């Protein structure tokens, strides 16, 4: 199935069939459906390969990891009430397809959402591992990707911060850095719309400092994994 067919024939009807809302398909906010052609194609690859499955209530689940909801509901005070397509989960599911098909990761080692929900997509080197090998964060705009990376580079050099002093976007970035320090993923991958993306090798030092070194996308390949002896 192509993305538009999946959206209009499956995703939207499933969301509208939720017992706790009264939406009909025409209530979708048309301006929210802003997905690039390549992101549509990547999502469709994941869908058609069975990398995600419908779990009810308008939500879908990857082979491993947390669930994703593809829509958000508008305010009840507005009539007619509308709902919107959430672009980040669409891109995230496309990332799963790319990890599997383009970078040849086995499906059972790919997941959506890390154990602490710090990252949107992950890979692990074994079924028993709870640590990420690739930690991937998805944002819906290029500006958000640029802002995230700027903040993460800033916080990577600071051992500890008082999160109560941070704004929401700053807390989000600091959460990624904290999760990297805790589980020491060797690769961080930031992905925005239309494959606006950057991959980094992550290096850790004894004083909790982190260094991000840009790396080519081919380094994301399963064949490039450095297994310990």
Q: What are the DSSP calls for 80-117, one per residue? A: S--EEE-HHHHHHHHHHHIIIIIS---GGGEEES-TTS
Residue ranges of domains in the chain: 3-86, 114-224
Cis before 150 (ω within 30): no
Question: Which pTM was predicted?
Answer: 0.94
Give the residue from 119, 106, 211 showing the smallest Cα distance to 173: 119
Give the residue from 72, 59, 84, 88 showing the smallest Cα distance to 190: 88
pLDDT the model gives residue 56: 73
Grouping H, G, I as helix, E, B as strand and the rest as coil, residue 47 is helix
pLDDT the model gives residue 80: 86
Rounded distance between C-alpha atoms, residue 32 and residue 21, angstroms: 19
Give the residue from 89, 77, 75 showing the smallest Cα distance to 39: 89
Name the token pair of 109: 């080692």
pLDDT the model gives residue 229: 52
pLDDT the model gives residue 182: 94
Name the token pair of 11: 């995703």
- Please count the other Cβ atoms lying within 10 Å of the Cβ belonging to residue 55: 11
In degrees rounded to 5, what are phi and psi of residue 107?
-60, -35
Rounded distance between C-alpha atoms, residue 144 and residue 142, angstroms: 5
pLDDT the model gives residue 228: 62
The residue ranges of the chain whose pLDDT is under 50 are none
* 181 within 8 A of 208, measured Cβ to Cβ: yes
pLDDT the model gives residue 221: 98
Please, what's the b/e burial string for 109-131 (b: 16 or more CB within 10 A of its CB; e: otherwise)? bbbbbbeeebbbbbbbbeeeeeb
Cα 130 to Cα 14, 87, 104: the distances in Å are: 32, 27, 20
Specify the DSSP class assigned to residue 77. Answer: T
186-198 confidence digits (pLDDT tens): 999 999 999 999 9
pLDDT the model gives residue 21: 73
146-176 confidence digits (pLDDT tens): 999 999 999 999 878 888 789 999 999 999 9
pLDDT the model gives residue 19: 59
Instruction: Give the position of tokens 């397509």.
Output: 85
């Amino acid at each position: 199935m192509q993305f538009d067919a999946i959206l209009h024939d499956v995703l939207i009807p499933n969301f509208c069939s939720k017992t706790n809302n009264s939406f009909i398909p025409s209530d979708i906010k048309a301006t929210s459906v802003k997905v690039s052609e390549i992101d549509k194609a990547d999502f469709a690859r994941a869908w058609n390969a069975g990398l995600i499955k419908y779990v009810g209530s308008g939500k879908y689940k990857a082979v491993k990891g947390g669930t994703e909801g593809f829509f958000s509901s508008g305010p009840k005070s507005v009539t007619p009430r509308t709902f919107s397509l959430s672009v980040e989960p669409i891109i995230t599911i496309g990332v799963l397809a790319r990890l599997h098909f383009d970078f040849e990761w086995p499906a059972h080692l790919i997941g959506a959402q890390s154990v602490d929900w710090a990252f949107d997509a992950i890979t692990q080197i074994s079924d028993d591992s709870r640590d990420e090998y690739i930690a991937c964060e998805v944002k819906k705009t290029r500006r958000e990707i640029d802002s995230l990376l700027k903040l993460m580079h800033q916080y990577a050099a600071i051992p500890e911060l008082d999160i109560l002093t941070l704004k929401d976007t700053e807390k989000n970035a600091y959460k990624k850095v904290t999760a990297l320090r805790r589980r020491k993923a060797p690769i961080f991958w930031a992905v925005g719309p239309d494959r606006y993306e950057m991959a980094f090798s992550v290096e850790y030092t004894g004083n909790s400092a982190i260094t991000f070194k840009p790396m080519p996308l081919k380094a994301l390949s399963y064949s490039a994994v450095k297994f310990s002896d």
